[in-house]
Structure 1
Amino acid sequence: MFDGIKILNADADIQKLMYSSVLDWNSVVNDGTGEVVGRTAEYNNLTLTIKEETSLVKVTGSLHKYANAGIHNADDFTPERLAGVLDSIQKLGIGINSALNNLEFGVNIETPFPPAKLLERLICHQRREFTRHVSKGFEYYQCEHERQFVVKIYDKGRQFGLRSNLLRFEIKVLTMQVLHKKGIGIYTLSDLLNQKLYPKIGNLLIQCFNEILFDEPTIDTTNLSKKDSDLLINGRNHKFWRPFSESNFETKQKYDTARKMRYRQEKRFRQMIDSSPTAERLHKLAAELIATKWEILSNPIVPLLHYTLNVEMGQSIIPTAKECPITGIDISDQKGSSRYLSERTLKSDPELLKSLPVTIGQQRRRKHHHPEEYYVAHNIRNAASNPRNSIKRRIERAVKNTPLFQADEVIRLTDEQKKILQSVPSNVPRNKKPR
């Protein structure tokens, strides 16, 4: 989930920091004058810097690595572990009301294919190219968006010498307004514990991944028309998708025409990639795993009810007793076995229905005429069950298409996929097993 942070002006107790038994402070000296201009200390991958003149405290580093004594961030980082990290940071002298300036969030997913196989198919994100970087012996790919945010993807297993196929996908927010414009109210460290925001953050992560343009090298161009074949060949080069500059066109009309043409070309390129009978569609599988992993991490089996974090103002951060994992809305008043926002609740609260995103109620079945709350509740449940059903359909197709082999010889499920299949939908009675 959450990983790297940057705080330029922390709400800190400097005396507490300076006399902490776990912090080893070093002086920062001006090379020209020899004057001490600040002090710095590192602890569990967090770097703390105090400027001598202004007494400003800067904090940078990884919350996830902090939870692992600063060693790695290759495991799962749940809200429960995050709460423990914030508690520890607060004891050092860094207040959790400190305003965030940068924030990284993402997931590690175990893939049934080597991550390098997907990485070599990267083309661009929102028509901006991915650049390859090498740091401390491992490579990663990132796409920078004009000092707003960075999309980053790499082989996490290779970074830490793991045997498993572990792919890391994350977004680094360089200005918090990127989140605020999306209705994600993260301003301070304490906001990271607001589980009502997790569905929106997860949706942003998944949307960002789905915007990436991937190549599909298995497509045979001999059966394509010349127009499609040329588009496929040209589209595999990131330079083909570079954004247009209006200054390069004689008129705005020609500029708009070129943009519309490029939009149609991208749509057609994606259709060829996704519909080819020889396509492996690794990016589709990765997208499903990312969505599933975020849901698992943001809805831990053990809730945070037992954990209370004291804020300097004398308040407490205590998660809602029972929330819908998709919308983050309190459903404590619904019957005990319900897990998602129900049709009955929506019927009784018209204002709540109006406040939900329009996209939740868009998918409707043809020839069916139900009230709006029916479709909204139905689609909320589908958002949770679709990853499980998708894996089931993939297994059924594999078994059907390979009748000469045993199922376990042709199917390899990750631990995450096994957990999804073993999960029981909330609408299944306890004395029955799901089909």
Structure 2
Amino acid sequence: MIDFIKARLLSTDMNYLLKNPALEFIGSYNHSTYEIYDNCKAEYKGIDIIITRSKEVYIKGSLHKLHNFDEETNQGHNHGDFTYYALKKTVSELSDLLDVNPSTIRLENVEIGVNIRLNNFIHQTVSQYLVIHKTRPFGELNNGRGKFFGKQAIHKQYYWKIYAKGIQYRLDHDETRFELKVKTMEFLTRVIKRNPLSQKSDRYLTLSDLINKEYLTKLGETLLRAWKETIVYEDWINFSKIPAKDQIFILNCRNPLYWMINNFQGDDLRNAKRRYKGLQKRYSRINLHQIIYDEIQAKWNELLKAEPNSISHDQHGNKKVKFLTFFNHSISRLISDLIKRLGTYFPGFTTHIRDVASKYLNSKKQKIANGSF
């Protein structure tokens, strides 16, 4: 749901922050009076806390990685699922660390998105068939060492990124990331808070807004809109059944230059996209665009509505157990821990454990669904 953030603290107790035993600030300041001489920086589970000479405090880092931080390896990861309840817990941890209310942490940048395990064929083809987003072509994403793992369309206020998390993290499974990297918060405030100029506080979003389910629903709609505005190349069309005029139009739409040269705007852009998508839907054997739309929508809703502990992952992000939790959460944690521990030493035993647990829970008229081991 939410990954990287950059934010500024609107108010804080500077002395408390510098004396916090969980934070080791590196920089120039007076250890007795706590006067700041130069920028100071501390790190907490991958989150940077920065105090400037003017005594402004910034935080930046991945909330998803903070949630998955491993003390032994001193690293976190942001693949797999990051549910609403995990987000809420992480926001609470960060707010407690800084001793501030999350409503006083003002967001300056934020990444919103979902990680989805698509059908293997779709996963391998989706990034290859991206044409354009609005009127911006997709450029390649790489890991800095020349390894291509996705594409992005760069806009003034945000980046629209689609890439393979599996390649980025060298996972043993395919995982596709759909992400809006927001650089200017106005892009979101005008969507989430309809009247951004009505009150001063409405001009920006805070960390507390990120745990507001109503706002998160709107963020999910914004992510879906980004995909809806994306043109994809459907390569499963039988051209023999299509009129010549429509064939030419489809072939033109597959070329990013067609959209850039014509510089479609407003109704012209909407009409061209509507016609292209209508032809794809009518003649394509696989409606790739609709499949992806449905997957993004389903994943966002799953993360938003998931009960605590209803989605369990190991440190590599693999889904191990998925319960529809209507019973005491301590039971589900006990069973998950038992499966994980025994599965490490007796892999064949996990099926037996699952069956025993399922029979017990069914006898108590509880619902368990989508278990995967």
User: TM-score, normalised on structure 1?
Assistant: 0.60
Mapped to 2, the partners of 1:104 and 1:260 lie a distance apart of 29
| CA-to-aligned-CA distance 1:372-422 (integer Å, 9 cap, x gap) | xxxxxxxxxxxxxxxxxxxxxxxxxxxxxxxxxxxxxxxxxxxxxxxxxxx
Mapped to 1, the partners of 2:11 and 2:114 lie a distance apart of 28
Work out whether residues 192 and 219 of structure 2, in 8 Å CA contact, stay in contact via their aligned partners in 1. Answer: no
Does residue 293 (structure 1) correspond to residue 299 (structure 2)? The answer is: yes
Residue aligning to 2:174: 165
Does residue 199 (structure 1) correspond to residue 217 (structure 2)? The answer is: yes
Structure-2 change in CA distance of 1:263 and 1:44 (3 Å): same
Residue aligning to 2:318: none
Structure-2 change in CA distance of 1:28 and 1:62 (3 Å): farther
Structure-2 change in CA distance of 1:126 and 1:41 (3 Å): same
Deviation at 1:293, TM superposition (A): 1.0
Mapped to 2, the partners of 1:157 and 1:40 lie a distance apart of 32
Unmatched 5+ stretches in structure 2:
30-35, 70-74, 194-201, 310-364, 367-373
Q: In the TM superposition, what are the counterparts of 1:111-150 in structure 2 within 5 Å?
A: 111-114=118-121, 115-136=123-144, 137=147, 139-146=149-156, 148-150=157-159
Mapped to 2, the partners of 1:36 and 1:121 lie a distance apart of 52
| CA-to-aligned-CA distance 1:290-335 (integer Å, 9 cap, x gap) | 11111111112249xxxxxxxxxxxxxxxxxxxxxxxxxxxxxxxx
What code does the residue aligned with 1:46 have?
A: I
Residue aligning to 1:381: none
Deviation at 1:75, TM superposition (A): 1.9
Structure-2 change in CA distance of 1:262 and 1:90 (3 Å): closer
Does residue 68 (structure 1) correspond to residue 44 (structure 2)? The answer is: no
Residue aligning to 2:327: none
Mapped to 2, the partners of 1:4 and 1:193 lie a distance apart of 15
Work out whether residues 155 and 168 of structure 1, in 8 Å CA contact, stay in contact via their aligned partners in 2. Answer: yes
More strand, by proportion: 2
Residue aligning to 1:372: none
Q: In the TM superposition, what are the counterparts of 1:9-408 in structure 2 within 5 Å?
A: 9-27=9-27, 37-52=38-53, 54-69=54-69, 70-93=75-98, 95=100, 96=102, 97-114=104-121, 115-136=123-144, 137=147, 139-146=149-156, 148-184=157-193, 187-242=205-260, 263-277=270-284, 279-302=285-308
What code does the residue aligned with 1:38 have?
A: N
Structure-2 change in CA distance of 1:218 and 1:85 (3 Å): same
**Number of residues paired by the alignment?**
286
Mapped to 2, the partners of 1:85 and 1:262 lie a distance apart of 41
Work out whether residues 14 and 93 of structure 1, in 8 Å CA contact, stay in contact via their aligned partners in 2. Answer: no
What code does the residue aligned with 1:241 have?
A: W
Structural RMSD (CA):
2.8
Mapped to 1, the partners of 2:155 and 2:270 lie a distance apart of 19
Structure-2 change in CA distance of 1:197 and 1:8 (3 Å): closer
Residue aligning to 2:332: none
Residue aligning to 2:32: none
Residue aligning to 2:329: none
| Secondary structure class of the residue paired with 2:107 | coil
Work out whether residues 10 and 94 of structure 1, in 8 Å CA contact, stay in contact via their aligned partners in 2. Answer: no
Structure 1 stretches of 4+ moved >4 Å:
259-263
Give the % identical residues.
Answer: 28
Deviation at 1:280, TM superposition (A): 2.2
| Secondary structure class of the residue paired with 1:242 | helix
Mapped to 2, the partners of 1:26 and 1:189 lie a distance apart of 25
Work out whether residues 3 and 62 of structure 1, in 8 Å CA contact, stay in contact via their aligned partners in 2. Answer: yes
Deviation at 1:47, TM superposition (A): 1.5
Work out whether residues 131 and 254 of structure 2, in 8 Å CA contact, stay in contact via their aligned partners in 1. Answer: yes
User: TM-score, normalised on structure 2?
Assistant: 0.69
What code does the residue aligned with 2:233 have?
A: D
Mapped to 1, the partners of 2:224 and 2:269 lie a distance apart of 23
Deviation at 1:36, TM superposition (A): 6.0
Deviation at 1:79, TM superposition (A): 2.0
Work out whether residues 131 and 256 of structure 2, in 8 Å CA contact, stay in contact via their aligned partners in 1. Answer: yes
